[in-house]
Amino acid sequence: YSDTMLELLLFALEDLKMVLKSQESDLLIGLGNAEDVVLKLVNEVQAGLIFTEEEVEYRVRNVLASVESSLSNASFLSGNPPEIVVWSASLYDYKNPRELSTSHNQFLKEKLPMNTPLAAPSLPALNIEIETGSLPTLEELKGFLKESRTSENNWVPLKGTSARSILKKTLSQIKVKTAVALN
């Protein structure tokens, strides 16, 4: 990720934290493996519900599935695992997403009406003593991202690399793994 993108993320989180504090709530921040961070947080606050937005990106969906799996296999002070509530907040008003055009140009021609934004909910006050964590600095965030990268989750910017070279590299890695597994 670019420094600009990470800075924008940090500014958005700082703003969200400030808005939540003005409502006597707070943003709880944790860096680490998603399964571990969510599990620790659920036990600390004894959460009964976890809210998440419906995702379409493959890797994010895998992380969410992994978190859900780890929650279903864990034990909780309250006894039962929390319920995961998924919402979808489309910008456009449509009845069935399968009826939407897959062509961007055709989608624009359809001129779907936009949904009215939902009012911000009022949140209950955060009445527990818990370490909310602090926002990382840009350098801390970059260091965390660098340390947490593995060969399986490295993102390759297409701007500097052709799709053909990425495909060749991936196929050669698969062949090497297959050859090693057969030996």
Q: What are the residue boundaries of the structural domains of the chain, listed by start?
A: 3-181
CA 167/CA 21 separation, integer angstroms: 47
CATH 3.90.1010 given to domain 3-181 = no
Tens digits of pLDDT across the chain (183 residues): 789 999 999 999 999 999 888 888 888 888 888 888 888 888 888 888 888 887 777 778 888 888 888 888 888 777 788 888 887 777 777 777 677 777 888 888 888 888 887 777 777 777 778 888 889 999 999 998 888 765 555 555 555 666 677 777 777 776 655 555 554
DSSP E strand boundaries for the chain: 49-53, 83-87
Read off the pTM.
0.61
| The pLDDT of residue 152 | 52
